[in-house]
Amino acid sequence: MPTVQRISPCLWFDSEAEEAARFYTGIFKNSRIGTITRYGKAGFETHHRPAGSVMVVQFTLDGQEFTALNGGPLFKFNEAISFQVNCETQKEIDYYWEKLTAGGDPKAQQCGWLKDKYDLSWQVVPTMMGELFKDEKSGKSQRVMEAMLRMKKLDVAELKKAYAG
């Protein structure tokens, strides 16, 4: 019997839940759309959604469970919450950066952070980033910080070069 992920994010969309879930599952391996639940007639006076329209989409991204809810325009995403995509190689960083920035706001790209076309914030980072900043007082870490602050998409070779001095 499959185990249920105890904690999983629920993403509030105006009306793009299914579209967004399909976008995300098209990017990450080991991903799929699960159950799609639709609004019924009950509660229309509260939710104002037509019966039969998508209410909730359960989906999995790289083995992690998510829920997307069409809740209306009341709430928007902001940078206080983001999803980190930990990448082993520059090739992975390039892939996820290209896919997630498609249609997003180029002005919202800095230091490996981006906003996708749904205004959801992501961080596309190398897994070795923690090692580069392990000793925040060292000259090595300071040089990495200076290099990173000049970047939109992170460049592993440049970060390593800055670390080495």
Mean per-residue pLDDT, 106-123? 98
What pLDDT, on a 0 to 100 scale, did the predictor assign at position 46?
A: 85
pLDDT above 90: percentage of residues in the chain: 89
User: Could you tell me the two tokens for 34?
Assistant: 């699960």
**Is the pLDDT confidence value at 32 over 80?**
yes
pLDDT class of 2 with cuts at 50, 70, 90: low
Q: What's the pLDDT at 136?
A: 80
For residue 150, give both structure tokens: 């000049």
The answer to which of 9-18, 52-61, 105-114, 127-136 has the lowest mean pLDDT is 127-136
User: In terms of pLDDT, which residue wins out, 112 or 43?
Assistant: 112
Q: Do 28 and 62 contact (CB within 8 A), yes or no?
A: yes
User: Of 5-9, 82-86, 87-91, 122-126, which gets the smallest average pLDDT?
Assistant: 5-9
CA dist 74 and 66 (Å) reads 20
Give mean pLDDT, residues 36-44.
93
Average pLDDT over residues 86-112: 98
Strands 82-87 and 121-126, sheet pairing: parallel
Its pTM stands at: 0.92
What pLDDT is attached to residue 1? 61
Distances (CA, A) of 123 to 84, 97, 100, 126, 160: 5, 9, 10, 10, 19
Question: Strand runs (DSSP E) across the chain, as ranges?
Answer: 10-13, 32-38, 54-61, 64-70, 82-87, 113-115, 121-126
Other CB atoms within 10 Å distance of the CB of residue 47? 15
Mind spelling out the 3-state secondary structure of 80-112? CCEEEEEECCHHHHHHHHHHHHCCCCHHHCECC
Q: Is the pLDDT of residue 110 over 70?
A: yes
Q: What is the mean pLDDT of residues 142-161?
A: 97
Per-residue confidence band for 122, with pLDDT thresholds at 50, 70 and 90: very high
User: Which tokens go with 12?
Assistant: 């509030």
